Amino acid sequence: MSVSRVIKAVSKLPRMGSPHDREKVVSKLPSWLRQELKIRAAQLGIDIQTAVEQGINHWTGLASTPATVDTAGASPFSTWLPQGQWDTFKATATDRKLSLIQGLAQSVDVWLQNNPSPAIKRPEVVRRIIVCNQKGGVGKTAVAAGTGEAMAESSEQLHPVRISKHFAAALEGVADDPLNLESLPGIGLRVLLVDFDPQCHLTQQLGHTPLPMEGDSLTKHMAGVADGRLRDLIVPIQEERFGDRLHLLPSCTDAFLLDVKLAGVRAREAALERALSPIEAEFDVIIVDCPPSLGLSMDAAVHYGRRRDNEPPGSSGSLIVVQAEDSSADAYSLLTTQIEDLRGDLDLELDYLGIVVNHYDARRGYIATSSLQAWMDIKDPRVVGVLGDLKEQKEAVRLKRPLLAYAPSCDQAVGLRALAREIS
């Protein structure tokens, strides 16, 4: 979702109406029904007050009374309705010998039945996101994992999202404080995280064991000497908030030998695609956590992230993770040179999805702030996320849990959700 689409979604989220054309009404609703109403309204991009208005209109027009709704534990609920609608509603409830609480609950329930959750919009061609930088230690693994987690969160739940700080100017006028958290439904996509780094950081950070050297591995599939199906190596990330939507292809330390093995492989730049193509239909997004390398394995990753026939621009491509310091700029230059060479040599359509400035801390002074500005001044690729250097990520790594499961409301988590929407 682009910034403009995020702004549009934010502007449509529940807000209070104006007393000049609506009247405030107070009643009660059970918490479960209020939560369903809040989620469904956010999914459909309309105000809660509009949903209640539509529900009451439909309910008052029914020829017979709907089934009774369990209102046990109802708590105060207020909204703004058109002038006179609440009086009509109260008269109808009296005629039907119902309490106002029961009538309102039925009205909301009717609206929910008439406005089902929208289906997840799945890409026609699996999206392939290559998270890369030749420099180690910039946080590629954390960004790859967090982006995948954000894309896999349930669309039937609301999650806190904050637009990245550098987009504050674009949000001006949408809200009094553009950095307020917004509750948005999860993206709900089926995601595969591919640990393409022989150091196995992604595998270990998510609580799994690297594949044994003597067994099957992605390296062996790329080299054409696999013993079984790649599908059998994939493991689920078992956290309730991701359902069955988030999976991992673990790494193996034999990936240290990948460049040597690829040297003798036919059309070696297509080796990663040949290995992953049998399982692509099972996922909406495949995110590859690349090694800090400019070798043949990186060539294969770049080739895999190219734009395919009938694929819209910006759906797949490279996501470059940097830090707000000078050495990241040097590594970035080497990486983009390699990408541009491959674009020309192999005639690839490879899109830059953007730059993520990670581990940013303005308290580090001029070097950090001036480096961030230098990244912001690059227009192609543009900066699509700025993530802070915060303790929750380190704690999640220590506990071997996904960040968005360990600390779903922390600043990094809400920033990663914004990043996932920005490149969607």
Residue ranges of the chain that CATH labels 3.40.50.300? 127-422
Structure tokens at 230: 């790649």
pLDDT at 20 over 90: no
pTM, to two decimals: 0.86
pLDDT at 99: 96
pLDDT at 208 over 60: yes
pLDDT digits (tens, 9 = 90+) for 280-336: 999 999 999 998 877 888 889 999 999 999 899 999 999 999 988 777 777 888 888
pLDDT at 130: 96
Closest C-alpha to 60, from 29, 31, 96, 26: 96
Average pLDDT over every residue of 353-373: 86
Highest-confidence range of 26-30, 326-330, 359-363, by mean pLDDT? Answer: 26-30
Closest C-alpha to 276, from 56, 153, 128: 128
Rounded CA separation 278/294 (Å): 26
- Residues paired with 158 in a beta bridge: 185
Q: What is the CATH number of domain 127-422?
A: 3.40.50.300
Whether the CA torsion 409, 411, 415, 416 is positive or negative: it is negative
Name the one residue in this structure whose structure tokens are 């991992």: 248
Average pLDDT over every residue of 57-69: 94
Average pLDDT over every residue of 354-379: 86
What average pLDDT does the chain have? 88
pLDDT digits (tens, 9 = 90+) for 258-269: 888 888 888 889
Confidence band (pLDDT; 50, 70, 90) for 25?
Answer: very high
Instruction: Write the CA distances from 48 to 42, 64, 257, integer angstroms.
Output: 8, 25, 57
